């Protein structure tokens, strides 16, 4: 109905103008002897009112431009109306009628009337169409909003090589404010398309907002915590929890129900999928529910469908450290231990080592609780929920035809003996430990009751690590440390003129001051003297000196090098090492 009114109003306006020009033809008699200063371009028949005069070249060019503009608007409305499903047939009729009326006006009405009339007709159509389509698209796709006008203003000034102050920051905020997100059920059916209009009454809209914020802030986990008066939302970014905007009680409850509905909690692997078309990303949100009723908590783990294990070279290893780990993994026997506190990257390092191997030339099996990530060509066993001891599982498999076995933990003496004795034969083992450093791995094996000589014979290489947040290169600040501080942390003031610290953040890093994480590693390839000391049950000081002789450097030493290089800050290094500096 609205489009029909628009067509009628446009046609009526042009018709009135045509009749007025015809009726007022005698009023132009005094101007018939007027000659345009421009040369004649087109001769007109003398029996048609204003055509007795001439058309100036500029008027003709204006007609061509306006006519082309009308056709462009008609084509754009056709394409856009199909995208947003806004009655394409009706709006095509409106634009076709406008184009035909413009053509007729050019023939029947003088150009100084027909050109403004054609422009007015186009403006009327756009004035009626744009508000309707803006209601159906995400905020980032709305036209002639304040945000869109800033973009147009930037483009206009850019034609003259100019840039308004602060425009980049404003545009960055606009771009990050809303992100189109499509939701899919676990089975694959679409739950809410990316271009669905935002509706505060629809819980899918709330899910999209949380998902979009998680994607924009590069969060790996999202926590939804039910509180008495609201729903708290938190994002784990670079290993730290950042609180988001809470939701009121009723919308929060609807959001939780929608997440459960999308994930199908009754399945073995509850999750839902997300598509972000502007980033061309397909994401998987694993869902875990803890507690009930008022104490309910929901944990979402974000994974990308195209996510692959990181390469050893991309973890932060020094070149010589990467060589040591590759050589250790290429061996046919021995035990490699990757040690770190929880969520400090040991699993990622193990996956990178396994991914660097050829699964077709070596038979590889893993025993994980839970499985960290998919590894192509490798047999992976998820022990989550298994009541059978790991030692018993290994006893069944260790006699199989496997070249390499990976275990995600060494929980007891039986498992440790099984791994270390197997490593002395013709099998390679990789194990994960939560020990804080390489020397503590030996101490933990001894604490489990493993004889020192068994540890010495089976253990080959130990890698301990931490993950430090990387300073944002766009907003980090340079500071001049005091000589006292440099002496305290073991740096020479004559060689260190300045250090880098995090700022309050910028748009690029989400106002955290950091952008991503990388590892710092200490690696101990156990040499002959060190092996003898382990077999004799030597103390920590003796092992420390022997490890230095084997080329080992501590996490603190290598972390300070990263601080001097500007990779991270001294505060961040102290946080992950917990040294209190």
Note the pLDDT of residue 496: 82
Residue 492 in domain: yes
Contact yes or no for 273/304 (Cβ under 8 A): no
Tell me which of 348 and 494 has the higher pLDDT: 348
Query: Mean of the pLDDT values across residues 382-390?
Result: 82
Note the pLDDT of residue 84: 64
Query: Mean of the pLDDT values across residues 466-489?
Result: 88
CATH assignment at residue 356: 3.40.50.300
Residue 141 in domain: no
Residues 173 and 206 in one domain: no
Crossing angle of the two packed helices 528-535 and 540-549, in degrees rounded to 10: 170
Note the pLDDT of residue 385: 77
Least confident of 120-129, 211-220, 282-291, 363-372: 120-129
Query: Mean of the pLDDT values across residues 246-250?
Result: 83
- Asked if pLDDT for residue 166 goes beyond 80, the answer is no
Residues 222 and 200 in one domain: yes
- Asked if pLDDT for residue 34 goes beyond 50, the answer is no
Residues 115 and 161 in one domain: no
Query: Mean of the pLDDT values across residues 513-536?
Result: 92
With a CB cutoff of 8 Å and minimum separation 6, the contacts of 202 are 192
Contact yes or no for 324/461 (Cβ under 8 A): yes
Residues 428 and 515 in one domain: yes
Least confident of 8-12, 484-488, 571-575: 8-12
Instruction: Give the position of tokens 């998820």.
Output: 382
Least confident of 179-188, 233-242, 547-556: 179-188
- Asked if pLDDT for residue 2 goes beyond 90, the answer is no
- How sure is the predictor about 175, in pLDDT bands with cuts at 50, 70 and 90? very low
- Asked if pLDDT for residue 373 goes beyond 70, the answer is yes
Closest Cα partner for 519 from 339, 302, 331? 339
- In whole angstroms, give the CA distance from residue 329 to residue 312: 12
Residues 93 and 199 in one domain: no
Average pLDDT over the chain reads 80
Q: 372-383: b or e for each residue (b if 16 or more CB lie within 10 Å)?
A: beebeebebeeb
Residues 92 and 130 in one domain: yes
- Asked if pLDDT for residue 455 goes beyond 80, the answer is yes
Residues 321 and 248 in one domain: no
Query: Mean of the pLDDT values across residues 389-402?
Result: 79
- In whole angstroms, give the CA distance from residue 404 to residue 333: 8
Q: What is the CB-side half-sphere exposure of residue 57 using CA atoms within 13 A?
A: 5
Residues 406 and 530 in one domain: yes
Please tell me which of 20-29, 35-44, 372-381, 392-401 the model is most confident about, judged by mean pLDDT.
372-381
- Asked if pLDDT for residue 27 goes beyond 50, the answer is no
Note the pLDDT of residue 147: 67
Note the pLDDT of residue 452: 92
- How sure is the predictor about 396, in pLDDT bands with cuts at 50, 70 and 90? confident
Residues 327 and 451 in one domain: yes
Residue 532 in domain: yes
- How sure is the predictor about 436, in pLDDT bands with cuts at 50, 70 and 90? very high
Last residue of a domain, one of 246, 279, 304: 304
Closest Cα partner for 339 from 436, 443, 460, 474? 436
Closest Cα partner for 154 from 134, 175, 138? 175
Query: Mean of the pLDDT values across residues 183-192?
Result: 86
- Asked if pLDDT for residue 213 goes beyond 90, the answer is no
- Here the contacts of 125-128 (C-beta below 8 Å, separation 24 or greater) are 125/6, 125/10, 125/73, 125/77, 125/94, 125/95, 125/98, 126/73, 128/2, 128/3, 128/6
Phi-psi region of 185 (alpha: psi -120 to 50; beta: other; left: phi over 0): beta
Tell me which of 497 and 558 has the higher pLDDT: 558
Note the pLDDT of residue 61: 72
Question: According to DSSP H, which parts of 85-110 are helical?
Answer: 88-108
Note the pLDDT of residue 569: 92
- How sure is the predictor about 443, in pLDDT bands with cuts at 50, 70 and 90? very high
What percent of the chain is modeled with pLDDT above 70?
80
Tell me which of 217 and 57 has the higher pLDDT: 217
Note the pLDDT of residue 194: 74
- In whole angstroms, give the CA distance from residue 15 to residue 18: 5
Q: Which two tokens stand for residue 152?
A: 């147009």
Note the pLDDT of residue 273: 93
- Asked if pLDDT for residue 36 goes beyond 50, the answer is no
pLDDT digits (tens, 9 = 90+) for 37-94: 444 444 444 444 444 444 556 666 767 777 777 788 888 888 877 776 677 788 878 8
Last residue of a domain, one of 136, 166, 193: 136
- In whole angstroms, give the CA distance from residue 397 to residue 395: 6
Least confident of 2-16, 227-241, 548-562: 2-16
Q: Which two tokens stand for residue 416?
A: 């440790």
Q: Provide the residue range defining the domain that includes 567.
A: 312-577
Tell me which of 362 and 542 has the higher pLDDT: 542
Residues 368 and 288 in one domain: no
Number of domains present in the structure of the chain:
4
Q: CB 136: neighbour CB atoms within 10 A? A: 16
Note the pLDDT of residue 8: 52
Residues 249 and 347 in one domain: no
Q: Which two tokens stand for residue 20?
A: 């007025």
């Amino acid at each position: 109905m609205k489009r029909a009114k628009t067509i009628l109003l446009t046609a009526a306006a042009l018709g009135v103008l045509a009749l007025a020009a015809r009726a007022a033809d005698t009023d132009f008699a005094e101007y018939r002897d007027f000659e345009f200063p421009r040369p004649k371009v087109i001769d007109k028949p003398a029996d048609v009112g204003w055509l007795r005069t001439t058309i100036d070249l500029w008027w003709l060019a204006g007609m061509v431009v306006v006519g082309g503009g009308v056709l462009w608007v008609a084509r754009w409305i056709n394409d856009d109306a199909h995208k947003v499903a806004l009655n394409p047939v009706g709006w095509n009729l409106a634009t076709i009628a406008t184009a035909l009326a413009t053509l007729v006006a050019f023939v029947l009405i003088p150009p100084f009337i027909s050109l403004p009339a054609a422009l007015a007709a186009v403006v009327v159509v756009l004035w009626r169409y744009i508000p309707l389509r803006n209601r159906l698209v995400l905020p980032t796709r709305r036209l002639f909003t304040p945000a869109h006008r800033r973009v147009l203003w930037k483009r206009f000034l850019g034609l003259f090589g100019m840039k308004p102050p602060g425009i980049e920051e404003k545009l960055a905020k606009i771009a990050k404010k809303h992100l189109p997100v499509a939701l899919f059920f676990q089975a694959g059916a679409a739950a809410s398309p990316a271009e669905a209009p935002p509706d505060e009454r629809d819980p899918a809209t709330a899910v999209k907002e949380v998902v979009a914020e998680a994607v924009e802030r590069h969060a790996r986990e999202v926590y939804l915590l039910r509180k008495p008066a609201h729903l708290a939302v938190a994002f784990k970014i670079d290993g730290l929890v950042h609180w988001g905007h809470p939701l009121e009680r009723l919308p929060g409850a609807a959001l939780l129900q929608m997440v459960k509905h999308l994930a199908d909690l009754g399945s073995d692997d509850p999750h839902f999928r997300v598509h972000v078309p502007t980033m061309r990303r397909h994401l998987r949100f694993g869902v875990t529910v803890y507690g009930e009723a008022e104490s309910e908590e929901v944990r979402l783990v974000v994974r990308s469908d195209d996510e692959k294990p990181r390469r050893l070279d991309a973890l932060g290893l020094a070149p010589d450290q990467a060589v040591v780990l590759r050589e250790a993994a290429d061996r046919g026997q021995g035990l490699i231990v990757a040690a770190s506190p929880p969520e400090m990257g040991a699993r990622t390092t193990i996956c990178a080592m396994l991914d660097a191997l050829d699964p077709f030339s070596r038979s590889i099996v893993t025993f994980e609780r839970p499985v960290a990530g998919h590894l192509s060509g490798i047999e992976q066993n998820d022990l989550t929920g298994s009541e059978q001891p790991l030692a018993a599982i290994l006893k069944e498999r260790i006699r199989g035809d496997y070249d390499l076995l990976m275990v995600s933990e060494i929980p007891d003496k039986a498992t440790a003996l099984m791994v270390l004795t197997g490593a002395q034969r013709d099998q390679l083992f990789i194990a994960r430990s939560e020990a804080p450093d390489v020397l503590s791995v030996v101490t933990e094996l001894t604490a489990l009751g493993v004889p020192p000589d068994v540890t010495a014979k089976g253990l080959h290489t130990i890698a301990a690590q931490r993950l430090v947040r990387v300073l944002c290169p766009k907003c980090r600040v340079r500071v001049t440390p005091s000589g006292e501080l440099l002496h305290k942390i073991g740096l020479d003031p004559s060689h260190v003129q300045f250090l880098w610290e995090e700022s309050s953040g910028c748009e690029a890093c989400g106002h955290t001051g950091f952008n991503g994480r990388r590892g710092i590693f200490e690696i101990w390839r156990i040499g002959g003297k060190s092996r003898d000391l382990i077999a004799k049950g030597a103390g920590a000081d003796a092992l420390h000196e022997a490890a230095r002789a084997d080329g080992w450097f501590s996490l603190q030493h290598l972390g300070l090098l990263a601080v001097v290089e500007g990779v991270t800050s001294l505060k961040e290094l102290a946080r992950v090492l917990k040294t209190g500096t």
